[in-house]
Structure 1
Amino acid sequence: MDTEAVRSFVRAAELGQLQHAADELGVTQQAVSKRIAALERELEIRLFTRTARGVELTLDGQAFLPHARSIVTGVERAITAIRPNSRALRIDVLGFRSGQAVILHDYWRSHPGTDLDVVTLRAADPQVAVAAIQAGDIDASFRTITDPAALPRDVRMVHVLDFPLEFLAGPRHPLAAARTLTPAQLRGHRIWVPGIAPRCEWGVFYDQLATELDLRIDGAGPNFGVEVVLDTLADSADVATLVGNRDRLVWPAGYDLRRIPVVNPTIAYPLSLLFRATDPPPGLRGIIDYFRSLATLPEPVWRPFWTRRSAA
């Protein structure tokens, strides 16, 4: 089996676009298409269906994906085994459009000599990231363990940045014309955050946010991706959501969505970095310092309990 074809399949599955996979792999879209077509012929199944947005996995493709990831990981480990210290610094982010990925990209652009491999584990449970760090699959992860008792001694967690959240709504929402909003003004309005998974850090965050600030957080429905959320907001007069101020969101001009800062207090989502406690990769220090050098938030600020507890 052609391992480059398997690698192309994995990246296309994770990114949902053949062109994006080609850009990451440094080849043409036609090359990626040919590799995947050859893989489908060898397996005698269809791995993808094409949609208006790109490609989606078939049921067979979904079944093959975790095994394909194992193949790619095995090849990478084999190469690493014969090239000591050759692997790039591998950091897990929640998503390539997330604010953490945006800032990490800014760091990489300002430090062009940094050998960086940015990945996403596609797992809501932060313990998956902990296990990947312990196994050496990744060097660090922008995840948070909200219960310090659940953090193993061989993994360290440091707080690196607070993201202020913004209110995102369509033009027909009753708060759409506001320049800023307070949490008190959000009370009673439906804030839709679909697909909040058990044991995820943002589930803990939104539970506490709803309780302490008396907000209506609606986690109903599966998460079909940010595009579906944006589509829904554009057509709705009563649904809104909260997004990080650094999250990279793009929507059609006709949607006329509004990103409105939340103040008095600013709602802060704390960002932490997990990495091995002993002998961490030296390149992490510069990344941590870069994140911590960014502007602090104007007071007053609301933060969840684990940041208050670990403020020292």
Structure 2
Amino acid sequence: MDLKHLRAFVTVAEQLHFAHSAEQLGVSPPTLTAQIQALERLLQARLFQRTRRSVALTAAGEAFLVEARAALAQVERALETGRRAGRGQLGRVDIGYVGSAVFSGALQAQVLHFRRRWPQVQLGTCELPTAQLVQQLEEGQLDVAFVRTPVVLPSSVASHVVARDRFCLALAADHPLAGSGQALASRVLAGEAFVAPEQGLGLREVARRGRFDPHIVSVPGSLQAVLAQVALGAGIAVVPSVLVQVVHLPNVVYRDIAGAVIPSEVAALFRRHERAPAVRQLIQQIRQVKCPA
């Protein structure tokens, strides 16, 4: 028995007319009769009582109609589930991120927009150090990762910038350089103790401009941990300027860096040849983000 036999039976059971049912199914009346007879032989039961003028369901036919309808409905649900999964409307996407991606709002914007468009796709999120994010992405444990660039990437991983800001300085409020409120030249930072964030681009550029080797006293990891060290007087830090608006810790002040802006970027990382439809939907959404230079 296959689906065409079930559909033939249900159509005849609802129409109670073989000629009309055959026309609806797009088959000849003899073909439809043969399908019903094959089904009756399989079930070893008469499904219809036929006369020259009428067609009626037998008791076996009535009982079988309930199950046949349920079976066809289940098949249709299965087919629709498969179609939706193939379109990326179902499934799961695992996202990793560094904390500054949350501070920038880039991660939230992508997740919220994706959930509105594809509410039945499950999203998993976790915060990890950059090195682990890249490794887990390459190994397939994560599908998309949000990081601060630059990051060394394997050839199988691509990136797309989703947010831009600039670097600034975080200092303890009682630090001698904190009082003026003016932008600080890189050269005046020579000899300072630095608390280094995971992404060291900003600090390296400040040191290059100031022509000094930075004295790094701590590398605590996340930006929150960096600012905590600054608040405790361990040193100063070069951090993304987005923190000025979103993180306010007692005894921490922010100052601009004099000279040309030192840009900072948040990028989404993903596999170049992704096959999972749901993940591809998120990647397509991410690629639509256009950040001003």
* TM-score normalised by the chain length of structure 1: 0.50
Which of 97, 111, 116 pairs up with 1:113? 116
Hey, what does 2:266 align to over in structure 1? 271
Hey, what does 2:177 align to over in structure 1? 175
Hey, what does 1:164 align to over in structure 2? 166
Q: Aligned AA for 1:170? A: A
Instruction: Give the number of aligned pairs.
Output: 196
Hey, what does 1:104 align to over in structure 2? 107
Residue 142 of structure 1 contacts residue 272 of structure 1 at CA under 8 Å; is this kept in 2? yes
Percent identical across equivalent pairs? 14
Which of 220, 242, 247 pairs up with 1:249? 247
Residue 168 of structure 2 contacts residue 240 of structure 2 at CA under 8 Å; is this kept in 1? yes
Hey, what does 2:47 align to over in structure 1? none
Hey, what does 1:223 align to over in structure 2? 220
Q: Aligned AA for 1:282? A: Q
Change (3 A) 1:215 1:266: farther
Hey, what does 1:211 align to over in structure 2? 208
CA separation in 2, counterparts of 1:219 and 1:239?
9
CA separation in 2, counterparts of 1:98 and 1:214?
33
From the CA coordinates, give the structure whose radius of gyration is larger.
Answer: 2
CA separation in 2, counterparts of 1:133 and 1:187?
37
Residue 92 of structure 1 contacts residue 118 of structure 1 at CA under 8 Å; is this kept in 2? yes
1:175-221 alpha-carbon deviations (Å, 9 max, x no partner):
2234441443643252522475xxxxx24664454234435533323
Residue 141 of structure 1 contacts residue 274 of structure 1 at CA under 8 Å; is this kept in 2? yes
**Pairwise CA RMSD:** 3.6
More strand by share: 2
CA separation in 2, counterparts of 1:190 and 1:267?
19
Residue 140 of structure 1 contacts residue 275 of structure 1 at CA under 8 Å; is this kept in 2? yes
SS in 2 for 1:105: helix
* TM-score normalised by the chain length of structure 2: 0.53
Aligned-residue offset at 1:113: 0.6
CA separation in 2, counterparts of 1:87 and 1:183?
51
Hey, what does 1:54 align to over in structure 2? none
Q: Aligned AA for 1:244? A: P
Q: Indicate whether 1:134 and 2:147 are aligned.
A: no
1:188-203 matches, within 5 Å, as: 188=190, 190=192, 192-194=194-196, 202-203=199-200
Q: Aligned AA for 2:103? A: G
Structure 2 gaps of 5+ residues are 1-83
Hey, what does 2:18 align to over in structure 1? none
Q: Aligned AA for 2:253? A: R
Aligned-residue offset at 1:87: 3.6
Change (3 A) 1:133 1:233: closer
1:261-300 matches, within 5 Å, as: 261-279=256-274, 281-290=280-289, 292-293=290-291, 295-296=292-293
Structure 1 gaps of 5+ residues are 1-82, 197-201, 297-312
Hey, what does 1:10 align to over in structure 2? none
SS in 1 for 2:220: coil
Q: Indicate whether 1:89 and 2:101 are aligned.
A: no
Structure 1's consecutive aligned runs of 4 or more residues displaced over 4 angstroms after TM superposition are 109-112, 144-147, 224-229
